Amino acid sequence: MTGGVVVAVSRSATHSFSKPNEAVIRLIAGLGVDGDAHAGATVKHRSRVARDPHQLNLRQVHLLHDELFAELRAAGFDVHPGEMGENVTTRGLDLLALPTGTRLRLGATAVVEVTGLRNPCAQLDGLAPGLMAATLDRDSQGDLVRKAGVMATVVTGGPVRPGDPIRVELPTGHRQPLSPV
């Protein structure tokens, strides 16, 4: 599998849905995006904290493919990088096809490990009515396809900037398809 490129990076210190674009974000090993409300070793997403605040944070970094924005714009939605809550917007990489445990090298030093799919939530409809449904689809077997990106944990920290290359390291052995985390 070939790599891609970072299109945009975003973060927010508050639990706002959309995240403003930045010139650079810094990933911190085991925690996530420095200065982002979702950074931490344990869960920070409010719905997950309410269920069990001691769960490991498998959602430290949200990656979303820029190709989804093009698809959504063609369907009449005016959405742009950072607005769907992602930290890293990618291009040229089929994020949804990656197996669990794939490592992505972002730029010169940062490495994240893909933990699963982002499950689209109703907050998307607050950005644009019908957006949540537009991020869901069915495959040829009728199975639900979640298109709202992938979640990852930070293995090795470092800066990530728009234009940085993304290199893919697939896991060895049995490859487990992504499921929601």
Number of separate helices (H) and strands (E) present in the chain? 4, 13
Task: Give the phi and the psi of residue 174 in degrees, each rounded to 5.
Answer: -60, 135
Residue ranges of domains in the chain: 4-169
pTM for the full model?
0.96
User: pLDDT, tens digit, for every residue of 110-128?
Assistant: 999 999 999 998 999 999 9
Residue in 179, 167, 180, 177 with CA at minimum distance from that of residue 99 = 177
User: CA 13, 15, 21 angle in degrees (round to 5)?
Assistant: 55
Largest CA distance in the chain: 42
Task: Give the phi and the psi of residue 170 in degrees, each rounded to 5.
Answer: -75, 150
Q: Rg of the chain's alpha carbons, rounded to an integer?
A: 15
User: Above 70 in pLDDT, residue 1?
Assistant: no
Given the candidates 2.40.33.20, 3.40.50.12780, 2.40.50.100, 3.40.190.10, the CATH classification of the domain at 4-169 is 2.40.33.20
Mean pLDDT of 3-18: 95
User: pLDDT, tens digit, for every residue of 21-74?
Assistant: 999 999 999 999 999 999 999 988 788 888 898 999 999 999 999 999 999 999
Cα separation, 8 vs 20, whole angstroms: 10
